[in-house]
Structure 1
Amino acid sequence: MNIYGSTISLLEQGLNFSSTKGKAISQNIANIDTPNYKAKNVSFKDTLHTVQQNSITAYQTNDLHINFKSKSSQPGVSNYSNFRYRQDGNGVDMDKEQADLAANQIYYNALIDRLNGKFGTLQNVIKGGR
């Protein structure tokens, strides 16, 4: 019996995604003055699209079984390969990176607040409602 449910697992995956996105943004900001550096991005939508295209179908023993596709994948980091923001070939837009950093921080804080709420509920149950 899983007392936590799937919510905590989903929140963990969301935190992993946010952490990966934060690392990509940090690398972009750190390389703002590096010539020919291509900005990196982590996109859930792009990762999901890639997984859907490369997935395999399951073996069905009956025509009434639901056809599903499955493939494990971690969020991927992609480069803006054809994008040049400055003359030296650098593809980092500092305004965009700061906006992405703020949005990612809000997303991360929301996940942490929700996780704290789940643990608070579990703590309340353990204490017997006192």
Structure 2
Amino acid sequence: MTCSNKILKKNIEQGGGKMFGGDKVAVRLVREMDLASLRKRVIANNLANLNTVGFKRSFVSFSRELETASGRLVVSMTHPRHLPGKNAGDEVRIETERHTAIRADGNNVDLEREMLDMVANQLHYHTITRQLSSRLANWQYVINEGRR
């Protein structure tokens, strides 16, 4: 994992900063944008190594955890002896698919799969940016109307 990927991964896991003043939805959207950016870098790395002998594709495992977490209740500790836990989806992992080989040279990068993943990720990123942009436009409207 490159240094910039490590920094991006750390930012995603920390949940953003104080830029949005406690707006949890906006912070979540920014985390999703960072995650999509990391996913794009991983896919680009896979594509760059399409013809590298023995290269194994990598992927970001966060989305599976996020999908399963979205259907769960968030449980809080009600007693000091309860075990503390992490909410599912808090951890981002870049994993390597080691046990498959598409070609005889050991490389398991499938161009069509990577391109489909790239398009799906781009659509996801575009949707998130539109949601965040809409949210910021609403804030701007409220602020400007409050001055009249």
Q: TM-score, with normalisation over the residues of structure 2?
A: 0.69
The Cα of 1:47 is off from its aligned counterpart by 7.8
Match of 2:128, as an amino acid? L
The Cα of 1:17 is off from its aligned counterpart by 1.1
CA pair 126-4 structure 1, distance change in 2 beyond 3 A: farther
Instruction: Work out the number of aligned pairs and report it.
Output: 119
What are structure 2's unaligned runs of at least 5 residues?
A: 1-19, 69-76
The Cα of 1:74 is off from its aligned counterpart by 4.0
Show the counterpart of 1:29: 47
Match of 2:40, as an amino acid? G
Deviations 1:8-38 (A, max 9, x none): 0110111111111111100000000100000
> Among residues 84, 96, 112, which one is paired with 2:113 in the alignment?
96
Q: Distance in 1 between matches of 2:22 and 2:140?
A: 12
> Among residues 9, 16, 29, which one is paired with 1:11 in the alignment?
29
CA pair 107-95 structure 1, distance change in 2 beyond 3 A: same
Show the counterpart of 2:79: 60
What are structure 1's unaligned runs of at least 5 residues?
A: 50-57
Q: Give the superposed CA RMSD.
A: 2.9
Q: TM-score, with normalisation over the residues of structure 1?
A: 0.78
